[in-house]
Amino acid sequence: MNTSKALEIAQVYAKALANKDVETIVSISAEDVVCTSPIGQTAGIERFRAFQEGFARMLTNLTVLAVYGDDEQAVVVYLAETHPVPRSLVAELVKIKDGKLASTDVIYDATPFAAFM
């Protein structure tokens, strides 16, 4: 079976999220990576690193439910358990450019997190 590049990168990304491995996430990301989520948008590798470090600090468990993709984009779906919110279903649309994670659109219900922001 032939694995597409975006799917391959998304699988590495999902595993790194689950393991709180921010260094791996940064290593597979473009310097100008863009991350859009209900709390706003970050641009650039250092802001993306800070976003991922913040997520890793509050994460208690992450269960990957699905990863699907082709050569240019992939979808990662996971259940995140965090200190502020016990269960949150999350989907990310990740786009790949030149073999790196170029952008991710993080989709989740931010309402339960509002009290902690």
Residues above pLDDT 70, as percent of the chain: 96
CATH code of 5-116, in short, is: 3.10.450.50
Residue 1 binned pLDDT confidence (cut-offs 50, 70, 90): very low
- How do strand 29-37 and strand 100-107 relate by DSSP bridges? parallel
Q: Are 78 and 62 in contact (CB under 8 A)?
A: yes
Q: What is the DSSP string of 23-87?
A: HHHHHTEEEEEEEEETTEEEESHHHHHHHHHHHHHHEEEEEEEEEEE-SSEEEEEEEEEESS-S-
What pTM, to 2 d.p., does this model score?
0.92
Q: Residue 60 and residue 40: Cα distance in Å, rounded?
A: 23
What are 18-60's pLDDT values in tens digits?
Answer: 999 999 999 999 999 999 999 899 999 999 999 999 999 999 9
Residue 86 neighbours by CB distance under 10 Å: 11
Compute the average pLDDT of residues 3-14: 93
- Where are the domains positioned within the chain? 5-116
Element (H, E) at 94: strand 88-97
